[in-house]
Amino acid sequence: MANFETKIVETDLLIIGGGMAACGAAVEAAYWAKKNGVKVTLVDKAAMDRSGAVAMGLSALNQYVGVGAGDNTVEDYVRYVRQDLMGVTREDLVFNIARHVDSTVHLFEKWGLPIWKDENGKYVHEGRWQVMINGESYKILVAEAAKNAMNAAGMEIIERVFITEPLMDGNKVAGAVGFSTRENKFYVFKAKAVLVAAGGAVSVFRPRSVGEGMGRSWYPPFNSGSSAYMTLRAGAEMTCQEVRFIPVRFKDGYGPVGAWFLLFKAAATNAFGENYMVTHADELKKYAPYGMVKPIPACLRNHLGMMDTFAGKGPLYMQTAEAIQKIAAAAGDEKAAKKKLKHLEAEAWEDFLDMTISQAILWAAQNIEPEKVPSEIAACEPYFIGSHSGASGAWVSGPEDLQTAGTKKDYFWGYANMTTVPGMFAAGDASGASSHKFSSGSFTEGRIAAKAAVKYCVDNKTRPAVADATIAEYKTRTLAPLDLYEANKGYANDANINPNFIKPRDFMFRLQKLMDEYAGGVSMQFTTNKHLLNRGLELLAMLKEDSSKLAAESLNELMRCWENMHRVAQAEAHVRTLLFREETRWPGYYYRADTPNMDEGNWKCFANCKVDPKTGEWTMVKRTIHRIVE
């Protein structure tokens, strides 16, 4: 077996991840842990300064309710999210984040994040809920605050350790195991509580960017399904696994569209100049009551655009030039308009340079001047992201004070944001049915979850028991891809092609092809049916069998092997839930061709699932949607 030192870390609360939710968790946990004599350890697969979705920076904070400024109420936000997710949302969770998110935004500002202000000192809004930032260094600032808080409280941060599996003590969580991506070290974290904040899942489906463009995606490639795997593998109930997110983005560079639609008020059209939101407005009636109130839900906006794309009326365009010229012209005389134009041009480029640099590079490479010509947009491949406009994640307990007599039995089991596995918590992309938290809300949810997790550690004094033999078993399994490679590498003269093993890159291609063709990816125009899904499950079962043949030549490839195992778990939960829900509730995210309509009578509910870690048997279940806000 590969010669790896075993490092045992004894802690009370283990935070997995170093992204937005984990940084929020670190800031909050450090405070409560120090007060209560609880030890906290944070482990990130990368370096926190630039890890996770905010690595490149962002150009807006997408969740700011503005209660203090009198802009909106928390209830308004809950109604917005409910509408956007076609009625399927945990209102207690959304409410809990929304009532605390403004304080997070104020903390960011205190730590030095430049939030745009108008001449009256008020935040400049991109849209009703979004505020503009100069966000190139956003993640560095937030990580610095998390590190400072943890250091001041004497807590430990371990970077560049990839977590592979949860450790269990019966049905309770007992920690997690992983390995260093830089040194030959196997890590065992023994903990009373574990907070999963390892982001969403990218590259489960074949991306649009293949060949020379491989690796480009809207969401970061380093979010590889670890959250879903950790919770599923521990036996946690999962929710909304069918609610993938299909973002519409500037084509091939994946630049976000929010600033264009909301700040610049641009229109999107088909190639013939028709505004599909206008020409297909009637289609929205089919999805009443959700399509009838503004803003139109993200999936329905996608759907109307897709109607034109599928009818051969593409490409779709963001009419950037028209929007910029219109705002400039309104600035006043010719001189004022010219000045305004320069300003808008800078804002347009900065939007991408702050957040998705590749889009700015692509514009430059293709000679695109946004003030002169429109730019292609397209629906991307599916992502699993509980924090944006998708909803997949673990089913977690809500806060006690927001429950009513009717909701408590379904939505509360002791600690806010605890999954159905005792001691295992989830936040950010890892927790489901609480969409539209974005970066600021994910940080906020991390704070909420960490506070509850520290309380769990205080209430539960017994240390989890993990036998040495179990640790040895985990170590063998974790390092198996290295051993398989070593044992067989001499058989062929190509390090990547060998009948005795499969390299992670090829394994990922197999997964992506399968998901694309059977689970409604880009090449299938996001359409599937029960026959395709059942066949997809057969192929997934064979893929899972072959995962024991994954081989790694290096530590980096070992990480790639495990990332793929994590993606497969996310893929299977998705396919099974697509199959379970016999309707099409989120057209524009996916279409079930055999059940093409929305069915409020039978399917206005959560579709939840879990898998028995011992037998591998899946259970699918409907859960009730309770209204908390009128």
* Chain positions contacting ligand SFD, by CB under 6 A: 16-22, 43-46, 51-54, 58-62, 162-163, 197-199, 218-220, 222-223, 226, 256, 258, 355-356, 387-388, 428-429, 438-440, 442
Written as six digits, the tokens of 551 are: 């081989």
Give the residue carrying structure tokens 């009730």. Answer: 624
The interface with ligand AMP within residues 110-139 (CB under 6 A) comprises 127, 130
Choose the catalytic residue: 351, 381, 517, 563: 351
Choose the catalytic residue: 224, 397, 439, 440: 439
Please give the single-letter amino acid code of residue 597: N
Give the residue carrying structure tokens 């903990």. Answer: 191
Give the nearer residue to ligand SFD in terms of CB position, either 54 or 107: 54
CA distance linking residue 17 with residue 621, whole number of Å: 29
Binding to ligand AMP by residue 258, rule CB under 6 A? yes
Q: Which of 385, 380, 434 is nearest to 244 (CA)?
A: 385
Written as six digits, the tokens of 258 are: 């929010």
Helix (H) or strand (E) holding 78, with range, is helix 74-84
Give the residue carrying structure tokens 């209830």. Answer: 75
Binding to ligand AMP by residue 59, rule CB under 6 A? no
Residue 249 annotated to the active site: yes
Give the nearer residue to ligand SFD in terms of CB position, either 126 or 572: 126
Is there a contact between 512 and 536 (Cβ–Cβ < 8 Å)?
no
Smallest gap from residue 261 Cβ to ligand AMP (A): 4
262 binds, among ligand AMP, ligand SFD, none (CB under 5 to 8 A by kind): ligand AMP
- Pick from 39, 301, 503, 560 the residue near ligand AMP by CB under 6 A: 301
Residue 477 annotated to the active site: no
Is there a contact between 519 and 533 (Cβ–Cβ < 8 Å)?
yes
18 binds, among ligand SFD, ligand AMP, none (CB under 5 to 8 A by kind): ligand SFD
- Pick from 138, 261, 456, 590 the residue near ligand AMP by CB under 6 A: 261
Smallest gap from residue 318 Cβ to ligand AMP (A): 11
Choose the catalytic residue: 100, 216, 388, 566: 388
Provide the mask over 61-80, with x wherever binding to ligand AMP is found by CB under 6 A and - wherever it is not.
-x------------------
Helix (H) or strand (E) holding 446, with range, is helix 438-459
Smallest gap from residue 138 Cβ to ligand SFD (A): 9
Binding to ligand AMP by residue 209, rule CB under 6 A? no
CA 346 to chain centre: 29
Phi, psi of 467 (to 5 degrees): -75, 150
Residue 100 annotated to the active site: no
Is there a contact between 209 and 227 (Cβ–Cβ < 8 Å)?
no
- Pick from 256, 390, 423, 521 the residue near ligand AMP by CB under 6 A: 256
Residue 308 annotated to the active site: no
53 binds, among ligand SFD, ligand AMP, none (CB under 5 to 8 A by kind): ligand SFD
Give the nearer residue to ligand AMP in terms of CB position, either 271 or 277: 277
Helix (H) or strand (E) holding 425, with range, is strand 424-426
- Pick from 13, 54, 243, 262 the residue near ligand AMP by CB under 6 A: 262
3-state secondary structure (DSSP) of residue 106:
helix
CA distance linking residue 418 with residue 606, whole number of Å: 18
Residue nearest to ligand AMP (CB): 258
Our CA angle for 553, 514, 196, nearest 5°, is 65
Written as six digits, the tokens of 191 are: 């903990």
Residue 252 annotated to the active site: no
3-state secondary structure (DSSP) of residue 129:
coil
Q: Which of 40, 44, 19, 27 is nearest to 456 (CA)?
A: 40
Phi, psi of 23 (to 5 degrees): -65, -40
Measured CA to CA in angstroms, residue 380 lies from 8, 146, 207, 588 at distances of: 42, 33, 8, 11
Choose the catalytic residue: 12, 51, 59, 62: 62
Choose the catalytic residue: 99, 233, 249, 303: 249
Residue 32 annotated to the active site: no
375 binds, among ligand SFD, ligand AMP, none (CB under 5 to 8 A by kind): none
3-state secondary structure (DSSP) of residue 42:
strand
CA distance linking residue 239 with residue 89, whole number of Å: 10
102 binds, among ligand AMP, ligand SFD, none (CB under 5 to 8 A by kind): none
Binding to ligand AMP by residue 611, rule CB under 6 A? no
Smallest gap from residue 438 Cβ to ligand AMP (A): 7
202 binds, among ligand AMP, ligand SFD, none (CB under 5 to 8 A by kind): none
Q: Which residues bind ligand AMP (CB under 6 A)?
A: 62, 127, 130, 247, 256-258, 261-262, 295, 298, 301, 389
Catalytic residues, by residue number, are 62, 126, 218, 249, 351, 388, 439
